[in-house]
Structure 1
Amino acid sequence: MHYSHAVRGLYSNNISTLTENAFAGLESLEGLDLHNNQISTLTENAFAGLESLEWLGLHNNQIRTLTENAFAGLESLEWLTLHNNQISTLTANAFAGLKSLKELWLYDNQISTLTENAFAGLESLYSLLLQRNQISTLTENAFTGLESLQDLWLYDNQISTLTANAFAGLESLRRLWLYDNQISTLTANAFAGLESLRRLYLENNQISTLTDNAFAGLESLKVLWLQRNQISTLAANAFAGLESLKDLYLQDNNITTIDQGAFSVFASSLGKLDIRRNNLQVYRESTFEELKYITELYSDLFRLCCVVGEIEVCEPTDAFASCTDLLKREILRILMIVIGLSSFIGNLIVIISRRINKENRSTVDSILLTNLAASDLLMAIYLLIIAGADIHYRGRYAKVASEWKNSFLCSFSGAISTLSGQCSVSTLMLMSINRAINIVYPFSTKRLKRTKCKIIIGIAWLVWLCISFLPLVANKSHVAIPYFGENYYGKQSVCLALPLTRHRLPGWEYATAIFIAFNGLGFFVIAASYLTIFLSVKRSAITANRRQRREEEIKMAVKLGFIVFTDFCCWFPIIVMGICSEMEWWRIPDDIYVWAATFIIPINSSVNPYLYTIIYMCKSERRP
């Protein structure tokens, strides 16, 4: 409320006492600002003679008690601010005479008790702010006389129990804030008399049980917040009386059971239901099927989206799966099997052939290529696990989605997929750096030796093994790292933790650091290495005595370059999409996300062995 004239500002002085008739002669004054003084007591008739006053600011003082008739004579007052004082008790008739008052701010005081008739005479009051006090109990008739009240702020107090008829007399109340209290029980008829209430905020309390008829009398309620409580069961009559409810928030409780008929009372009105981050185990599908008008459903169970059918928003979504199959696209099933088998066979041939070939198996290039094949072999195993799970769950996936995504096999496959990708990138980095050093400094004594190469590769495998499998064991009792959530790899049916979606799931920073930051750095190093090779070849004058050796190094660099290039083509789009997603520049369509995860990333593990080793072997056999 703003007043442009007839306002007296006496704030931020050292006023400690207001004597009787202190403002005599100011009959036309409309606003009086006394905040940020040292006033401790309001004497009787302190504001006598201010019959035109509409706004009175007394916040940020040291007022401890409001005596009876302290505001006598302020019949035109509409806005009274008393927040940030030291008021501990509101006595009966403390606001007597304020028949025109519309807003009363009493938050951030030390009020512990609301006595009967404390607000008597405030028949025009519209908004009452009592948050952040020390109120522990709401006695019957505490709000008598507030028949016009529409907003009541009681959050962040110490209220533990709501007794029957605690809000009697508030027939016009439309919004009630009770969150951040200590309420443990909602007794029957706790909200009786609130027939006009539209919004009820009860989140972040200690409510464990919703007794029958706890919400009786709330036939006009539209939105109910009950998240972050300790509710374990939704009984059949838990929401009796909420016939008009449209939005219900129940996330972050410990709900394990939903009885048949728990949602029946608002089956024809509920449009939004949020039951995420619970532990739902016992329920009947018919409980959700009867919600005919629901448009938004948020849960932890993909199966429920199949139960309610096509609606505007249903989460969790799964871009890869359908209600019947783990992989909903037939082409993806075929590609996953083909790429998986091709990669498995090709990389296995590479590893075996290099172990058999005694001449080449101990060279640095052979060690690096063998490790690249080993990491690509892990990707093949991942693909075959997912393809096998799709075949196993074919036609019934929705019913076992939670079982699969929470299984060890799903988490294990996600971990080896991460291990495969990161070891591949690390190996390619080392290959590129080694090749650049050999070409730019052909006679250097600091070339990468076999022993040093094995040590570096071993350390890389050990580091990525720990990083990849850490989320897998993070929810074990002896490790207990809540950062990763309960199921880091099981967010999607294909068990990947790629940071390409708009959702900020637990551990998303971890995934971003791995797949975007490290891989981005890796391919920058690879690009810099090959740029160095190109510039060195172009600018240097090749002498006769080192021409042959340098040409051999360049040929090897070209061969390895094909492998690097294909890996770059696979990973660079992922890095770009990840950056765009994290910066919220682009919402990646589901189809692109699916193809990126199931085709673009794995394809290089299948192509690598055929690009170099197998082709090289075939060429060797054709030599005279």
Structure 2
Amino acid sequence: MPVTLLSLIFAALLTGAVANPDVGEMKYLTTLVSPNYPDPYPYDTTQEWILETAPDEKMTVLLYSLELERFWDMLSFTHISHQDNIVTSYRLGTNAVTSLSLASGHLSVHFCSDRVLDLNGFALNIFTADNHIPTNESDIGDFICESETQSISYSSRCDMIVDCHDFSDEVGCGVCPDDSFHCRETDVCILPGLQCDGWQDCPHGDDEEICETLKCPAGCSCGESPFNEGHGPQSQPCSKPTWLSFWVNCSNTWNGDYAKNTAIKSTVINLSGTPLYENLEVSSFYGLHQLHAFYLDSCQLEYLPPGVFRDQNRVWRMALFNNSLTYLENGTFEGLTNLRALYMEHNLISRLDEGCFRGLHSVFIFDLESNKLSDLRHGTFEDLGGSLERLALEANLIRSINSSLLAGLENVLQVVNFQGNPIVEIAPESFTQMQALEDIHLLSAKSISLYPEIFKFGPSFQTVLVFDPRMCCIMPDGVTCTIIEPPHPLFTCRKTFLQNNTVKVFIWILGISALIGNAIVIYMRLTGKSKSSAIASIQSTLITNLAAADFLMGVYMVILAVMDLVIGDTYFWEGRAQEWRSSLSCQIAGFMSFLSSEASVFLVTLISVDRFICIIFPFTLRRLTVGSARLAVFMIWIASILLAVGSILVNKLNPDAYSLSDVCVGLPLIRKLTDLNSEIDAYTYSQFGHTRYNIVASSSISTWQFSIAVFLGLNLISFLVILVSYIAIFFKVRLTRQEVGRKAAGSSDDVRMAFKMLLVVGTDFFCWMPIIVLGILVQADIIILSSDVYAWLVVFVLPINSSLNPFLYTLIERIQK
């Protein structure tokens, strides 16, 4: 990167390094400073400078400031001599280096910083001088390394820290202290803290050998493994070290003494399953400042002392799940400034004190699944507001959601998971201010009370994952609503269980007309003059009972109409569908409907068979009499009552065999989803880092077998008998008219009665046959009926004959007269 004149002047003014550009006979060439100097240099930065000297000039580098993170950040000089093309590299890791003296040639200066700690950096001046001008120790006033190319401050001589690239500053320093590390085959001694720190300090590199044995706590196992996203670091340091990430596994216990006996270069501490109880001390990890990942899961931890992680500014992943933590207090995570992933699921946390997340400036994902959190104070997570994008609050005790719950995260939080909480309320404007929020998991364990415009989101919002399908009915346009498991086959987005105002009006009209009309028919039949002929008496008995069955259908429709008014739109907004289906009112209405429909079908079948016998076999004695007609009617009512009672019992004992819909009738117009499988939700794994399963159905089977047996079996047989009977009557009448003349055939009382009763039978036939045909098609998996079509069939098609029949009875009377 070229160095501009402006940057040179700026550096000179700040450091005072260029008060007099030339030093003695050395000519000033340039000034190099780290980015942003004297402020801390930015993270993840690379910069390079290229310098060249004339063949008759040498180069001197004077360092005025050098503050870099040892090992992880790098300032290196690579020099290629003009004279012999020898390449020499210098990596400056300590602030003891004061100067470099280099022969004429090509110089590359390379600076690199990683993604974690950023210090003040460096400032240096570069001078040139003629080759004949001597440079010695007295000129610079420092210790000149044996290679005569590097100088360090005298105070750094024999301090057991290697500063010269040729190790000469630690040679000839006398006997090594007992607590120092004596480098092999040399008299170089280094501080004990430099052994196994990831930096080669001994001439032969023996300070970094056998670390898995020499620097591993008793009872633990240690070793090396490749860098990876699970263990860290996030990226390799600028030096791209030859050593691998160093891990420590312990299974008995851990304390501060263990940390003292652990290699400083350790990047992973794995205490998973170790019974720590309350043995975690403030000094438990002191000195292990290169750690990148903690695994403290399943350790039976009950308490985290504030400051226990104070020295861990490089840690980016921490697992604390499956413990017994009950609260987090102020300063618990102090020092974890670069922590990115925090997993604390399956604890007993019920309290989050103010300041417990202080210092967590970089957390990207935070998992608090399966804890005891309920009422969270305003701004609980605001200390995470600079970085938190994924928040998992799954399976806690949160009952309500409001804007204060996520206060402080408005501009960063993208995904939040509330799955499995007993949420019953979402306050208005809860998500309006969440400018970055994209996805919400509202997989509540209970039914949430909804209201219009409950879901008002910020501009970035995209997806909601829910258990309750009602939520998908009121999502704003452009929002993807995903239901995690298949909804009930009869689920609908209707706000009331009656579909719309048209249905509501007509069910009142049909219900009242069925009640009044059939009540009048029954009254007139019971109080009218006795019929003069047996045929008329039989007809009167059958019509009276058919009117009674239709009257019950009117009761059913009025019950639905009244309960629709009583329940209103709470059916949808408060999620009362299942409550309504299992209520006593719905069961009574269902009983009335079932009893009415079956009695009607059986009575119509009896009428058709009686007319068939009378017309086809006019001289047989095996026909209905007044007495046998009354007995047959009595048996029909007994059979219908038993079937209706059976429907209620089956609904209670085996809902898969028969159950009630929103209109309290279980017609065989749906199929049951089957072959339910768990499917890994790749989306949730990518967002939160843990596995969750969706429930999917690969096929469907027939359901409500009781309903199929009655409506598609028994009723179908009845209507086939009716159809055959009237076809036979039609051909018999036509044949008779051709033989004896129209007048003779028309004078038969039986024939006249057959055509009169055809009006009543026909209405029942054409109300039931569409339902039977559709039922067969649905159970054959040929078509699928929506819940709205289901409701229209039950309200309009099935009961309409009950309202029309009283008028048909009147028409029959007029025809008779």
How does the TM-score come out when normalised to structure 1? 0.59
Show the 5 A alignment for 1:262-301.
266-273=433-440, 276=444, 291=458, 293-296=460-463
Map 1:204-603 → 2, pairs under 5 A:
204-219=370-385, 220-231=387-398, 237-243=404-410, 244-250=412-418, 253=421, 266-273=433-440, 276=444, 291=458, 293-296=460-463, 310-313=477-480, 319-321=493-495, 332-346=500-514, 348-358=516-526, 359=537, 367=545, 369-370=546-547, 372-382=549-559, 384-385=561-562, 402=574, 418-424=590-596, 426-427=598-599, 449-462=632-645, 516-522=704-710, 523-530=712-719, 560=761, 563-570=764-771, 573=774, 592-597=786-791, 599-603=792-796
Cα 1:431–1:230, aligned 2, differ >3 Å: closer, same or farther? same
Counterpart in the other structure of 1:57: none
Matching residue's letter, 2:221: F
Distance verdict in 2 for CA 1:576–1:163, change over 3 Å:
farther
Distance verdict in 2 for CA 1:619–1:608, change over 3 Å:
same
Cα drift, residue 161 of structure 1: 1.1
Deviation at 1:373, TM superposition (A): 1.2
Distance 1:161 1:616 in 2: 78
Which residue of structure 2 lines up, in the alignment, with residue 191 of structure 1?
A: 357
Query: What code does the residue aligned with 1:615 have?
Result: L
Q: Which amino acid letter does the alignment assign opposite residue 639 of structure 2?
A: I
Does residue 68 in structure 1 map to residue 251 in structure 2? no
> In the superposition, relative to structure 1, how do residues 89 and 562 fare at CA in structure 2: closer, same or farther (>3 Å)?
farther
- What's 1:604 paired with? 797
Distance of 1:113 and 1:251 partners within structure 2:
31
Cα distance between partner residues in 1 of 2:593 and 2:377: 53
Quick one: structure 1 residues 318 and 616, their matched pair in 2 at CA, closer, same or farther if it must change by over 3 Å? Answer: closer
Change (3 A) 1:218 1:420: farther
Report the counterpart of residue 179 of structure 1 in structure 2: 345
Question: CA separation in 1, counterparts of 2:340 and 2:320?
Answer: 14
Aligned-partner SS, 1:242: coil
Change (3 A) 1:411 1:501: farther
Contact 2:221 2:248 in 1 (8 A): no
d(CA) in 1 for partners of 2:293 and 2:599?
66
| Alignment length (residue pairs) | 506
| Unaligned segments of structure 2, at least 5 residues | 1-207, 226-242, 484-490, 527-536, 614-620, 675-699, 729-735, 737-747
Corresponding position: 1:201 with 2:402:
no
Mapped contact 2:344–2:368 kept (Cα < 8 A)? yes
Q: Which structure 2 residues correspond to residues 29-108 of structure 1 after superposition, within 5 A?
A: 67-68=217-218, 70-71=220-221, 87=251, 89-92=253-256, 93=258, 96-97=262-263, 99=265, 104=270, 106-107=272-273
Larger gyration radius, structure 1 or structure 2: 2
| 1:146/1:464 CA distance change after superposition, 3 Å | same
Q: Is the Cα–Cα contact under 8 Å of residues 223 and 245 in structure 1 kept in the other structure?
A: yes
* Structure 1 runs not aligned, ≥5 long: 1-48, 54-65, 472-482, 505-511, 540-546
Rounded to whole Å, the distance in 1 between the matches of 2:632 and 2:795 is 31
Q: Match of 1:89, SS?
A: coil
Percentage identity across paired residues of the two chains:
18
1: distance between equivalents of 2:471 and 2:222? 64
Q: Helix, strand or coil for the counterpart of 1:221?
A: coil
CA drift of 1:452 comes to 3.8
Question: 1:378 Cα shift?
Answer: 3.3
- Measure the CA separation in 2 of the matches of 1:233 and 1:573: 44
Give CA deviations for 1:219-274 in whole Å, capped at 9, x if unaligned. Answer: 2112323244334566765433323112334465566777888657x532233445
Cα distance change, pair 96–454 in 1 and its aligned pair in 2 (3 A): same
- 1:550–1:89 distance in 2 versus 1, CA, 3 Å: farther
Q: Is the 8 A contact 2:671 2:778 kept in 1?
A: no
Shift in Å, 1:160? 0.8
Q: 1:11: which partner in 2?
A: none
SS state of the match for residue 224, structure 1? Answer: strand
Partner SS state of residue 510, structure 2: helix
| Residues 379 and 605 in structure 1, CA contact (< 8 A), matched pair in contact too | no
Give RMSD over aligned pairs: 6.1
The alpha carbon displacement at 1:164 in A equals 2.4
More strand by share: 2
C-alpha deviation, 1:341, in angstroms = 0.7
Select the structure that is richer in helix: 1
Query: Deviations for 1:435-482, whole angstroms, at most 9, x for unmatched residues?
Result: 899999x979999744443333334445556788x89xxxxxxxxxxx
Q: 1:465 to 1:388 in 2, by over 3 A?
A: same
Cα separation, partners in 2 of 1:143 and 1:403, compared to 1, 3 Å = closer
Q: Is residue 157 from structure 1 mapped to residue 323 from structure 2 by the alignment?
A: yes
